[in-house]
Amino acid sequence: MTFGIDDLPVRDELRGKSPYGAPQLDVPVRLNTNENPYPLPEPLVERITERVREAARDLNRYPDRDAVELRTQLAKYLTDTSGHAVGLANVWAANGSNEVIQQLLQTFGGPGRTAIGFEPSYSMHALIARGTGTGWISGPRNADFSIDVGTAAQAIASHRPDVVFITTPNNPTGNAVPPGTVLALYEAAQAAKPSMVVVDEAYIEFSHGDSLLPLLEGRPNLVISRTMSKAFGAAGLRLGYLAAHPAVVDAVQLVRLPYHLSAVTQATALAALEHTDTLLKYVEQLKAERDRLVSELRAIGFEVVESDANFVQFGVFEDSHTAWQKILDQGVLVRDNGIPGWLRVSAGTPRENDAFLDAVRELKKEQS
């Protein structure tokens, strides 16, 4: 018998659990982790090199602990794209929005406290809750994956969670949550506790609708979480951020590790922000490809959830895992999120999407 996790004195709530892990398989077409398929443009790669070279000269020093230049530029990006004025004091950044969420749960969740999400949704919300000792409540969604305001508000009223997660556009289903629903759930959360409401907008740049940033006005317990992993095509950079009342930014300072954002990360993110306009053009292409996937999948005969993200959930399969394997056998990796009957495909380049559509056409032929 080899020595394993269970032989260590790990926390009880971690026993028997698996880590987050989408398969990283080496196949020709990888459409399983909602990455942006376009590599960064060469002029941006050059600019990153320049900025990182400058940063390298100072690597004997700790980086700017408050990431002031980066947060200022992120605030400018949010202001420019939403029309809602956001300043340095409203913005906080960390290593991916996963770390932002972790800091929020360390600050507002923790032992003896709870968080709720409306599932199926982004599985890391529950995993980060577990890691921070926060109790997790699985809130309800309708069969079509929308959120019923009455039922969701009722769940908030009865559980009185400390943190409410609303993911819009939602992952893995792709649908957006109407602003009216977010407002109603914010009100329900304030009446119940009051609690923090975290709107996870990781995919908002791909949406047909607008960011909920303007809702921050007058709502100090609302947080909007964003990332450069998707729209900016920079998943490898690990840069997430939030916008909220300045008091929220002050509060997360209590749990952030000092110098958590390396000088190299800050320099790279600043270079990417200089190229926002070019990067957002790729977003337009991906939105068009996403819409094409939705209509072609429907034409082939699949059910498809309306998508505001850079991925599409489709089905319905009698056995989604077998369907996943058959698509993989044709060299295309999609995602099986364990939602019975459904699979998720990320929008890739037109060629990758064609390969995927060919694979699922074959699958449909086999099934009929």
Which residues would be at the binding site for ligand PMP (CB under 6 A)?
Answer: 34, 96-98, 122, 167, 171, 200, 202, 227, 229, 235, 240
Of 34 and 195, which has the nearer Cβ to ligand PMP?
Answer: 34
Sign of CA dihedral 333, 339, 341, 344: negative
| Bridge partners for 343 per DSSP | 314
What is the chain's Cα-based Rg? 21
Of 204 and 357, which has the nearer Cβ to ligand PMP?
Answer: 204
Of 47 and 335, which has the nearer Cβ to ligand PMP?
Answer: 335
Of 153 and 242, which has the nearer Cβ to ligand PMP?
Answer: 242
Q: Give the shortest CB-171-to-ligand PMP separation in angstroms.
A: 4
Cis peptide before 194 (omega within 30 of 0): yes
198 DSSP 8-state letter = E
Q: Give the shortest CB-121-to-ligand PMP separation in angstroms.
A: 7
Q: Give the shortest CB-359-to-ligand PMP separation in angstroms.
A: 23
Q: Give the shortest CB-361-to-ligand PMP separation in angstroms.
A: 28
Contacts of 299 (CB under 8 A, 6+ apart): none
Q: Give the shortest CB-101-to-ligand PMP separation in angstroms.
A: 7
User: Do 326 and 366 meet the contact criterion of CB atoms below 8 Å apart?
Assistant: yes
User: Do 297 and 312 meet the contact criterion of CB atoms below 8 Å apart?
Assistant: yes
Q: Give the shortest CB-167-to-ligand PMP separation in angstroms.
A: 5
Q: How far is CA 263 from CA 45, 95, 234, 296, in A?
A: 17, 12, 16, 44
The span from the CA of 332 to the CA of 329, in Å, is 7
Q: Give the shortest CB-80-to-ligand PMP separation in angstroms.
A: 20
Total number of residues shown for the chain: 368
Q: How far is CA 342 from CA 17, 78, 166, 167, in A?
A: 23, 34, 21, 19
Of 98 and 296, which has the nearer Cβ to ligand PMP?
Answer: 98
- Does residue 229 come out as left (phi exceeding 0), alpha (psi in the -120 to 50 range) or beta? alpha
Of 82 and 121, which has the nearer Cβ to ligand PMP?
Answer: 121
Q: Give the shortest CB-4-to-ligand PMP separation in angstroms.
A: 28
The span from the CA of 45 to the CA of 291, in Å, is 29
The span from the CA of 205 to the CA of 209, in Å, is 9
Q: How many CA atoms lie within 13 A of 139 on its CB side?
A: 31
Residue nearest to ligand PMP (CB): 96
Q: Give the shortest CB-122-to-ligand PMP separation in angstroms.
A: 4
Of 122 and 317, which has the nearer Cβ to ligand PMP?
Answer: 122
Of 260 and 364, which has the nearer Cβ to ligand PMP?
Answer: 260
Which class for 130: exposed (0-12), middle (13-18), buried (19 or more C-beta within 10 A)?
middle
Of 36 and 363, which has the nearer Cβ to ligand PMP?
Answer: 36
